[in-house]
Copies of this chain bind each other. A is one copy, B any other.
Amino acid sequence: MQLLKDRIRKDGVIKDGNVLKVDSFLNHQMDIALINEMGKEFRRRFPDESINKILTIEASGIGIACLTAQYFNCPVVFAKKTQSINIDGEVYSTQIKSFTHGRTYDVIVKKAFLSPEDNILIIDDFLANWLCAARAYRHRKARRRKDSRSRYRHREGRQKGGELVRSQGIRVESLAIIDEMDPVKGCKFRDDD
């Protein structure tokens, strides 16, 4: 999506350790007009009327999911980090290792809000986040090698992430895929000329 890539080039900040900061427009301060355009683009890519629910995870995914849901006329369910005393009943749960926070979260979704009949669109700000759970065990192994962490993240988070999810029969759409990034040279997007 050209609008998003242009904005990442203009306002994204690349830090050492392969960290792309988009907090001025996407995940701390949020440009609502931009994210609305992203929502329309998701709808264009998923014109299927049968999508009846959008699933995301707190916190950065919620705003994108809510604005996008307007174009699908469906509710949003967001997975919650850590068990709240305010949730009862049965829950789906897993653990996610966050690179940006350096800790492991318990993540839960109330079973009542997801059913086998649902046709779900999953939305998040970075694909790498969704990979953390699936890769937790391999990650622990990789960390035994010196400086393995950032390479692991770079390679699997940005280059193999889509493949991993697709291998499970799930369609993946990314509005901007970064193949390489460098604090001096900037971002190289996958479909760049």
Contacts and interface: CB of A to CB of B under 8 A. Distances in A.
A145 B30 CA distance: 43
A78 B32 contact: no
Nearest to A70: B32
A87 B15 CA distance: 11
A110 B30 CA distance: 13
Interface string A159-193: 00000000000000000000000000000000000
Contacts of A67: 66-67, 70
Contact of A32 (B32, B76, B86, B109): B76
Interface SS majority for chain A: mixed
Contacts of A109: 28
Interface in A54-108: 58-59, 62-63, 65-67, 69-70, 73-78, 80-82, 84-88, 100-102
Interface in A11-68: 15, 19, 21, 23-25, 28-33, 35-36, 58-59, 62-63, 65-67
A152 interface: no
A149 to B, nearest CB: 12
B70 A36 contact: yes
Given A59-B62, A62-B62, A78-B59, A86 B30 contact: no
A54 to B, nearest CB: 9
Contact of A63 (B19, B21, B76): B76
Given A70-B36, A100-B86, A101-B85, A113 B24 contact: yes
7 contacts: A28-B109, A29-B77, A32-B74, A32-B75, A62-B62, A63-B66, A63-B76
